[in-house]
Structure 1
Amino acid sequence: MEHIEAIAALHDPVRRRLYAYVAAQGREVGRNEAAEAVGVARTLAAHHLEKLVEAGLLESGSRRLTGRSGPGAGRPAKVYTRTRAERVVSLPARDYRTAAELLAEAAERAGLDDGLRA
């Protein structure tokens, strides 16, 4: 169920574009960069990025994007990366045992198993 909820978080088109952008970068992405890339306001991007973190699709952290350090370097920016966790959803859930039983029954009815018996 957790995987379905995570995938459902991508229903919103802005959220989906933000996720696609961050995932494609392969590095940390700041809120400003993500907002500019998908053409939305920074506050809207921040909202959707946090929803993606809550859903477990992105991870967040913080670092200084300017490269400066020490006093006067400013506050670290929030950055996002794609989570390494894999999400898989199959609707309906795959039931290989039932599929195998149905296939075996169909083969038997069609007489396809006669060669195996001989």
Structure 2
Amino acid sequence: MFVEHSKEAPRPDVSAVAALDEPTRRRLYNHVVRQPGPVSRDEAAEALGLARQTAAFHLDRLADESLLDVVYERRSGRTGPGAGRPAKLYRRSARQVAVTIPERHYELAGRLLAQALEESESTGEPVRPVLHRKARELGTRLAGPDQA
């Protein structure tokens, strides 16, 4: 079995979520992920009552977004020369998709809070003013010297 991942450069998760906004594409995605094994274009089209070309278009778009993986395998059981071309099949990708708007940086917030707690404990200064100072210092560093 050969697995092909998307040839496109990785895009933000928001693009993958947007791809699922199209109702036919979302139905195809849901169908594929519920199956125990890879699904062919013909199987997906028949299961959802779609034209094969429509199913192929949407399945390939889902693969382009890395929501589905493409695998090639012979289903006839025959091998060697004359066995025919392997079928293009689709299965759920292992990719995890998460979108928050605006983007959150929980690790950064946690690190700032931990530093503020540590400094507060060693100096006796209340945590809130230390946290505000640390956040302001970090913001100034991130903005760069030209932005200050």
TM-score (norm 1): 0.74
Structure 2 distance, partners of 1:9, 1:92, is 19
1:52 aligns with 2:54: no
Counterpart of 1:27 in 2: which secondary structure? Answer: coil
1:63 to 70, 73, 87: 73
Query: Aligned runs of 1:28-43 on 2, under 5 Å?
Result: 28-43=38-53
Query: Aligned runs of 1:1-118 on 2, under 5 Å?
Result: 2-94=12-104, 97=109
| Deviation sequence 1:1-38 (CA, Å, 0-9, x none) | 71000110011111111100111113211111111111
Structure 1 distance, partners of 2:42, 2:76, is 13
Once superposed, what is the RMSD of the aligned Cα atoms? Answer: 2.1
Deviation at 1:73, TM superposition (A): 2.5
Deviation at 1:40, TM superposition (A): 0.3
For residue 98 of structure 2, what is the amino acid of its counterpart? V
Residue equivalent to 1:114: none
Counterpart of 2:20 in 1: which secondary structure? Answer: helix
Aligned-residue sequence identity (percent) comes to 47
Structure 2 distance, partners of 1:65, 1:41, is 22
Deviation at 1:70, TM superposition (A): 2.9
Unpaired segments of 5 or more residues in structure 2?
1-10, 114-127, 129-148
Counterpart of 1:26 in 2: which secondary structure? Answer: coil
Structure 2 distance, partners of 1:49, 1:65, is 19
Structure 1 distance, partners of 2:37, 2:69, is 11
- When the two structures are aligned, how many residues end up with a matched partner? 100
Unpaired segments of 5 or more residues in structure 1?
106-118
TM-score (norm 2): 0.60
Structure 2 distance, partners of 1:70, 1:95, is 53
Deviation at 1:61, TM superposition (A): 1.6
Structure 1 distance, partners of 2:105, 2:35, is 36
Q: Which has the higher contact order (CA 8 A, sep 6+)?
A: 1
